[in-house]
Amino acid sequence: MPETAVLNLSREFPAVPTADWEAAIQKDLKGANYEKKLVWRTDEGLAIPPYYRRENLAGHEPVRPDFKRWELSESLDSPPDAVRADLLHEAGAHAVQELAFALAEAIERIEPEFVFAVGSNYFFEIAKLRAARLLWAQAAVALAVDPTAKIHVRTSRRNKSVYDPYTNLLRVTTEAMSAAIGGADTLTVEAFGFSPHLAVNVQRVLREESHVDAVADPSAGSYYIESLTDALARAGWKLFQEVEQQGGYTKARAFIEKSLVESRAALSKAVSSRRKTLVGVNNYPNVNEKMPGIEAPSALPCSRLAEPFEQIRRRTAAHAARSGRYPKVLLLKRGDLKMRMARANFCFNFLGCAGFDIVEGEDYAGTDADLIVLCSSDPEYLPLAHEVCGAVKQPVLVAGNPKDQTEALKTAGVQGFIHIGSDAVETLTDWQTRLGMKE
């Protein structure tokens, strides 16, 4: 290319119509259901498509808040009159509920100052803060008050764990980025098991090294975030109107409390069943970390999502202290290579969340394991179960859910199954009891 030639990206990379993208997707799906495979249904009830384009912004009012450089705050104290949306978050509210219920209280008190907590759902948290400003601005028109909201933000508590505190540090880093990009006026990064100076340094790195504050509203123009902001604002306004129909924030307290109980239960169930991952807690555990690295801060306003798993690990540790050893699980790998490796890996993560010692092998002779898990393919399970169950005294489980063989495997001596549909808290607690651990 001559040195004077101009690189024309629009010519080199011509626009591809959405219809062409959709045709390519349908071809790759090979008949699979588009909605089930590619559309994400969120806790808020929103449908998130696999990609966004300019046409997704058609009809949306762009969010153009007056962004300023956020103030670094080390104080855990909230402004006395601010609307505490962060307490809704900690009580289990999803983003739409946080927005709607906080707006209802703000309108009742005509209070433009908010405290929000940001969790690890990175893009949603950015959009949530932007939507909060949009909603207050809309309400302020009817109230004939200043449309400018002041938003104080702190990092979430509900997703933190007393195990592996440096994972908490990673969590607050992404949370702080969401707050900064979403337009927080002040930001507090709470230390949870790591040094407070690291909490302060997270913000300093974002500001001085990453230059997150160099551009006002850095997410503006992102098709995804603009669309998500609009979707959250619309859903939040709709739920807010439901509250207003019941007489406003105070008169709708029973409705709000019921909504929070339901959303909290759904969130806890998602973590317990491992549909929602807390790294190091309900998946990908550090099996060498037997004891908590920290104690949870006192006087937290609600329980954390990790607490059921932490209680399970404490129970295992207490049993080991009494008996002199941690319960051992043998993952017995036989047969089909792909299936045995995949199922052994699944069980390692699943059972590792209880703090058990885990070993893998192809032989069970002479094992001192307390529990044996067969890791193989469905067609190979029944003969393997007959072989192993008749030769050992330990309980034998099967990794997987071969429904057409369940009764035959139980007859052969199999005492349980571990699979993607298992509730981890229920299953691990049950096996702790069956292995003789005290409550």
The residue extents of the domains of the chain are: 71-272, 309-434
pLDDT at 433 over 90: yes
- d(CA 138, CA 145) in angstroms, rounded, equals 10
How confident is the model at residue 63, as a pLDDT? 59
Q: What is the DSSP string of 226-288?
A: HHHHHHHHHHHHHHHHHHHHTTSTTTTHHHHHHHHHHHHHHHHHHHHTTSS--BTTTBS--TT
How confident is the model at residue 12, as a pLDDT? 77
CB hemisphere CA count around 155 (13 angstroms): 26
Query: Mean of the pLDDT values across residues 116-136?
Result: 96
Element (H, E) at 188: strand 186-188
How confident is the model at residue 47, as a pLDDT? 95
Query: For the segment 5-61, what is each residue's pLDDT rounded down to a tens digit?
Result: 777 777 778 888 999 999 999 999 999 999 999 999 999 999 999 999 989 888 776
Count of all residues that appear for the chain in the document: 439
- With cut-offs at 50, 70 and 90, classify the pLDDT of residue 163: confident
How confident is the model at residue 280, as a pLDDT? 93
Comparing 226 with 15, the larger pLDDT belongs to 226
Query: For the segment 369-381, what is each residue's pLDDT rounded down to a tens digit?
Result: 999 999 999 999 9
pLDDT at 1 over 60: no
* 8 A C-beta contact, residue 187 and residue 180: yes
Residue 314 in tokens: 């404490």
From the number of C-beta atoms within 10 Å of its C-beta (0-12, 13-18, 19+), residue 145 rates as middle
Query: For the segment 298-355, what is each residue's pLDDT rounded down to a tens digit?
Result: 655 567 999 999 999 999 999 999 999 999 999 999 999 999 999 999 999 999 999 9
Q: Which CATH architecture has domain 71-272?
A: Alpha-Beta Barrel (3.20)
How confident is the model at residue 300, as a pLDDT? 54
Closest C-alpha among 147, 101, 146, 107 to residue 128 = 101
Specify the fold of 309-434.
Rossmann fold (3.40.50)
